[in-house]
Amino acid sequence: MVPEEASNALEDEVVTLIAEANQLAGRIHPIMRDSIGDLVRSMNCYYSNLIEGHDTHPRDIDRALANDFSTEPKRRELQQEAVAHIHVQRLIDSGRDPDVWPASAAYAAWLHEEFCSHLPPEMLWVIQPGTGEKLPVIPGEWRTHDVEVGRHLPPEHDDLPRFMARFDRAYDAPPLNIFRQIQTVGAVHHRFLWIHPFLDGNGRVARLMAHALFKRLGIGTSLWSVARGLAREEELYKKLLSQADGPREGDRDGRGNLTQRGLIAFCKFFLDRSIDQIRFMSGLLEPATLLTRIEIHIEEEIRFKRLQRGSFPVLREAVLAGEVERAKIPMLTNYEERGARNVTAALVERGMLTASSHRAPLRLAFPADVAERWFPNLYPANAGTRS
């Protein structure tokens, strides 16, 4: 259930992950980090949905967050699913999740209940393959039926309390030092999916659990998410996930009946994808290149008369200082007060700036059409075209 302590196979990945996560966290102004967090939560939701075979267009996610839902039933369901996911991740990112260890049965039950309780009742059903029986998904409760997941047969439902108790003992925080806990995040993810304790929603819970676990270990922040890395290599992700519980391959492959080599390979993949996503976000958030992309985009908007001159200096201030005091906007734009208000109003209307009140400082916001320009490759080119 955990990589063998004697194995040094994951040490380099852990050291690199800690260093690069700290570097990314220290690069961004704390207020700007909150703005980026909104964007990353939408991105994480999109890729988590994609792994489940649900391709939600990023603009549909934006509309759902603004309480603008489609009248088309399937599209509306995807939007509702997205809003529920983002709600749960926001609780994690803001520290409003339960004060229990994320790699635990209690935390898993909270994740599942919090997510499912924000879905409409018509989405809380599954159809049993073969029999066609319609079964209710009870938020936060272990399944009461046996299931098949592809070729995998998870434990029988009667055995779930015993398996989840073993899960708690294996991954409880105190027995493992932080270095070992980081090594084990992939193993937690694998074992939870292997147990498959809920009738539906296990993949989403497992990814949110990993996000919460990284955050609790001081590595994860709202600036990055492993979900994008897993989705971009979905075939390899699922292949290694399956192989991690294969039979032992000879005397040098661990001490038990199962392959230690396969488990380590999956844990290494999980850490490598995490490092890859930290590096990806570090590149996107490098201030000089980010400001260049913003400036090019704003110049285009000004030429098409969708924004006014003086817009870029306001956005630049938001990037560098985290927020923009309204009293500074006339100086930044070289306009009198009325002209400065017009610049601000246009940026707010386009969704590029937001504030908690009419008097509060302004901070950056990233609606989907803006994110596509300021953060290239955040989403695949064909986002929202698969169903």
Give per-residue pLDDT as tens, 335-378: 999 999 999 999 999 999 999 998 899 999 999 889 999 999 99
Tokens of 48: 């988590």
Highest CATH level, class, for 287-374: mainly alpha
- The pTM for the full model equals 0.91
245 annotated to a ligand binding site: no
Residue bearing tokens 């989840």: 164
202 annotated to a ligand binding site: yes
150 annotated to a ligand binding site: yes
pLDDT, mean of residues 238-259: 74
Tokens of 333: 């734009």
Give per-residue pLDDT as tens, 48-104: 999 999 889 899 999 999 999 999 999 999 999 999 999 999 999 999 999 999 999
Highest CATH level, class, for 29-285: mainly alpha
Q: What residue spans in the chain does CATH classification 1.10.3290.10 cover?
A: 29-285
Tokens of 114: 């919090």
Residues 6+ apart with CB under 8 A from 181: 173, 213, 217
152 annotated to a ligand binding site: yes
Give per-residue pLDDT as tens, 192-219: 999 999 999 999 999 999 999 999 999 9
Tell me the C-alpha distance between 336 and 52, whole Å: 52
The angle at the Cα of 106, spanning 105 to 108, to the nearest 5 degrees, equals: 65
206 annotated to a ligand binding site: yes
Tokens of 171: 């991954």
Is position 196 annotated as part of the catalytic site? yes
Out of 112, 196, 211, 297, which one is annotated catalytic?
A: 196
Q: Write out the H or E segment, with its range, that includes residue 20.
A: helix 11-27
Contact 88, 114 (CB under 8 A): yes
149 annotated to a ligand binding site: yes
Tokens of 246: 């294969």
Given pLDDT bands bounded at 50, 70 and 90, which one contains residue 7?
Answer: low
Beta strands in 142-261 (DSSP E): none
> Around Cβ 234, how many Cβ atoms within 10 Å?
13
> Does the pLDDT at position 250 exceed 70?
no
Given pLDDT bands bounded at 50, 70 and 90, which one contains residue 177?
Answer: confident
- Between β-strands 353-354 and 134-136, what pairing exists: parallel, antiparallel or unpaired? unpaired
Q: Report helix, strand and coil shares of the chain as percent, to nearest 5.
A: 60, 5, 35
Contact 228, 277 (CB under 8 A): yes
Tokens of 273: 């994808």
pLDDT, mean of residues 134-163: 94
Tell me the C-alpha distance between 53 and 56, whole Å: 10
The 3 state secondary structure assigned to 66-103 is CCCCCCCHHHHHHHHHHHHHHHHHHHHHCCCCCCCCCC
Coil, strand, or helix at residue 252? Answer: coil
Q: What residue spans in the chain does CATH classification 1.10.10.10 cover?
A: 287-374
207 annotated to a ligand binding site: yes
